């Protein structure tokens, strides 16, 4: 998986390309863990994310807690949205 991070003001956007699974979830967790306190809003861009496993879902829960709810997920493919919906994340997270 490729991870690209950009920051504009207090918003950091992380773009994911590939699969977010057991082997790649630690990479995303590390990228999120490295955000400094000036980051007030995190946007995860899933436009190129092809797959998400339960390990990826756990990273999303951790990110949501770290950002005190200021987490947005955008550009979700239908396949990934199905997983988020089945896990109930569409009711708890800001997904557009």
Q: Report the distance separating Cα 85 and Cα 63, nearest Å.
A: 18
Give the integer Cα–Cα distance in Å for 10 and 1. 25
Q: Are 41 and 11 in contact (CB under 8 A)?
A: yes
Residue pLDDT, tens place only, 48-88: 999 999 999 999 999 999 998 799 999 999 999 999 999 99
CA distance 90 to 49: 17
pLDDT digits (tens, 9 = 90+) for 39-56: 999 999 999 999 999 999
What are the residue boundaries of the structural domains of the chain, listed by start?
Answer: 2-95
Q: For the domain with range 2-95, which CATH number is right: 3.40.50.150, 3.40.50.300, 3.30.390.50, 3.30.750.24?
A: 3.30.750.24
Those residues whose C-beta lies under 8 Å from the C-beta of residue 28, and which sit 6 or more positions away, are 1, 3, 14, 16, 20, 56, 59
pTM for the predicted model, two decimal places:
0.95
């Amino acid at each position: 998986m490729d991870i690209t991070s950009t920051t504009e003001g207090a918003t950091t956007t992380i773009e994911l390309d590939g699969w977010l699974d057991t082997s790649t979830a630690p990479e995303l967790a590390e990228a999120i863990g490295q955000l400094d306190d000036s980051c007030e809003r995190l946007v995860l861009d899933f436009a190129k994310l092809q797959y998400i496993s339960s390990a990826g879902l756990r990273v999303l829960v951790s990110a949501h807690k770290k950002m005190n709810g200021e987490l947005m997920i955008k550009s979700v493919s239908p396949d990934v949205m199905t997983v988020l919906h089945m896990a109930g994340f569409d009711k708890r997270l800001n997904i557009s």
